[in-house]
Structure 1
């Protein structure tokens, strides 16, 4: 493969959302000032929260990250051969750690491509991109800085060349069902007939395994959950007593989802100075911070079909613990 200067192979673009995005203040007004109380999980991920999530992925209980990485390592070549991408667009790329399995496959197969990571964390992407272009002398990285939940119609992808859209981490499960369908419909609208979607999805399994994955013995996930209160304290000049909230993770089998909650140890008043308001929290009152929906093969296939997508390949971890799906437009 042809070498090129590293600096010329790492660029970035800010992506403007194609529809208005709720601000932190908007979401707090909508979810926290009324009962039942909730917060969007996207506010977990400040710099400290992102570091905590990387630590969660290393805990013994958190199987999704390991399962997905193992599937990518085992089937990366098959995925690249089947999709033959000239461009890889990754939604929510983070540190691009697991994406290296796909880039390794491109390297072995002598199929250079351009990588388009898309995330809100500019510094994380640029740091990861610098490492990637140093490690793969054929690779060009163009970081897309923005919130992909603001729409995909303004993503500046080239019109020529096959694209592989990558959406890993079981992230689709963090969307409410209607929003998950809408997200897949947007992806389908972006795809041409020769494009493919690689989707990582967590599966329904026994309650103990699921709840342990979201409530590790070291307490890393608990700290990650409480970090959203630190974000509110900093960004909205709030005074949540962070350590007075207990982390809870429960699997709701009827809705096939993990629910992460913060439970107040005692009654207290919280002042949110930036919003010029205060809220009274009762002892034992809960704030829902995340839903993580899990899927069966049937519910996954039904969701893809509803979005106008069809399953090409299905790679499963042992016991059906996790799925990687390669999909095309139906």
Structure 2
């Protein structure tokens, strides 16, 4: 155990706001809605579910009994955080993609502080408000931590990290967030992450594993209907922000596991023939009875799939940890 040193609070917090990349900014809600609802089959991008209401609903989803992911990942972190942060003589800079409130990262933060005595933590999130709130809470709770928050998209923020952060790094990507990316996009993200890392750096990330489809589908369609309200929030946003007239009661939510694509597919399905108008886009959309809008995928993994991802992105697995039921897996990769 190292002795933790207290640093002056005014020297322990820096917030960097960087304009997101043109590619990220080009995916606006109006453009996505116009393109996605004119496509066959229809689709919308899941990130637009996450306004203030959507984010609150997601927090509620994590508390549902069917949603095992959060508590299972937390149990693995509780039991193995010390090993996950070990391996350096001096403290590595801990960088987290999609940090949010940083709640789930505290087990790693505390393990690193216990091991090294101090820590530089670099949370990355598109929301500057969430980033600032969580950063201020962390420096209040941990006198030996220094926080540099970067508000931007992943690719832009990683370039900032490469330019500013010297020495060993532990890059963290929790919450099975990789599963939000289709296979090709996941490989692309992993390759870009690898390009920012050196031989002294490590990449720690969580993945949800393939399992009984009834367990998977229940996790994404809970009995209380929270996930259904979450999914329909994208229609609520279209109505509120673009003047749409979606009747939410005219759509049902569905989550089904596709073994072929090793993913849970989430859709909103029209219960009847109907026409929706979105005046701000000068768009009229017809729906047939049973026609769906694909709103989200959550990919699931096997050790073989993860091995292939590592090979395609030129990583080597150094260690992995899972729960007794084999539901969830954390792995630490090196270049």
Bin of the TM-score, shorter chain as denominator length: over 0.9
User: 2:331 is matched with which residue?
Assistant: 325
Say whether 1:229 aligns with 2:235: yes
CA–CA separation in structure 2 for the residues paired with 1:138 and 1:111: 7
Q: 2:43 aligns with which of 38, 41, 64?
A: 38
**For 1:130-141, what aligned pairs fall within 5 Å after superposition?**
130-141=136-147
Give, in angstroms, the shift of residue 10 of structure 1. Answer: 2.3
User: 1:59 is matched with which residue?
Assistant: 64
Structure 1's unaligned 5+ residue stretches are: none
Give, in angstroms, the shift of residue 241 of structure 1. Answer: 1.4
User: 1:193 is matched with which residue?
Assistant: 199
Q: 1:99 aligns with which of 89, 102, 105?
A: 105
Structure 2's unaligned 5+ residue stretches are: none
Q: 1:17 aligns with which of 9, 17, 20?
A: 20
CA–CA separation in structure 2 for the residues paired with 1:271 and 1:26: 15
Q: 1:8 aligns with which of 2, 5, 11?
A: 11
Give, in angstroms, the shift of residue 85 of structure 1. Answer: 4.3
Give, in angstroms, the shift of residue 319 of structure 1. Answer: 2.5
Q: 2:76 aligns with which of 71, 79, 82?
A: 71
* 3-state secondary structure, aligned to 1:132: helix
CA–CA separation in structure 1 for the residues paired with 2:41 and 2:118: 50
CA–CA separation in structure 2 for the residues paired with 1:57 and 1:149: 27
Contact 1:64–1:169 (CA under 8 A) maintained in structure 2: yes
CA–CA separation in structure 1 for the residues paired with 2:217 and 2:199: 39
CA separation of 1:50/1:7 partners in 2, compared to 1, >3 Å: closer, same or farther? farther
CA–CA separation in structure 2 for the residues paired with 1:125 and 1:109: 25
CA separation of 1:135/1:165 partners in 2, compared to 1, >3 Å: closer, same or farther? same
CA–CA separation in structure 2 for the residues paired with 1:243 and 1:51: 21
CA separation of 1:6/1:74 partners in 2, compared to 1, >3 Å: closer, same or farther? same
Deviations 1:52-108 (A, max 9, x none): 111111111101111111111111111111366431111111111110000110222
Contact 2:113–2:119 (CA under 8 A) maintained in structure 1: no
Say whether 1:115 aligns with 2:89: no
Paired residue total: 329
* 3-state secondary structure, aligned to 2:23: coil
Please, what is the CA RMSD of the aligned residues?
Answer: 1.7
Between stretches 259-268 and 55-64, larger displacement belongs to 259-268
Give, in angstroms, the shift of residue 19 of structure 1. Answer: 4.4
**For 1:1-330, what aligned pairs fall within 5 Å after superposition?**
1-21=4-24, 22-82=27-87, 85-148=91-154, 152-155=158-161, 158-329=164-335
* 3-state secondary structure, aligned to 2:147: strand
Give, in angstroms, the shift of residue 265 of structure 1. Answer: 2.1
CA separation of 1:32/1:51 partners in 2, compared to 1, >3 Å: closer, same or farther? same
CA separation of 1:327/1:309 partners in 2, compared to 1, >3 Å: closer, same or farther? same
Between stretches 101-110 and 199-208, larger displacement belongs to 101-110
CA–CA separation in structure 1 for the residues paired with 2:154 and 2:227: 25
CA separation of 1:8/1:243 partners in 2, compared to 1, >3 Å: closer, same or farther? farther
CA–CA separation in structure 1 for the residues paired with 2:42 and 2:296: 12
Deviations 1:7-58 (A, max 9, x none): 4322211123344222222222221122201111111111111111111111
Contact 2:151–2:157 (CA under 8 A) maintained in structure 1: no
* 3-state secondary structure, aligned to 1:153: helix
Contact 1:151–1:186 (CA under 8 A) maintained in structure 2: no
Contact 2:85–2:111 (CA under 8 A) maintained in structure 1: yes
Deviations 1:191-215 (A, max 9, x none): 0110000010010001111001001
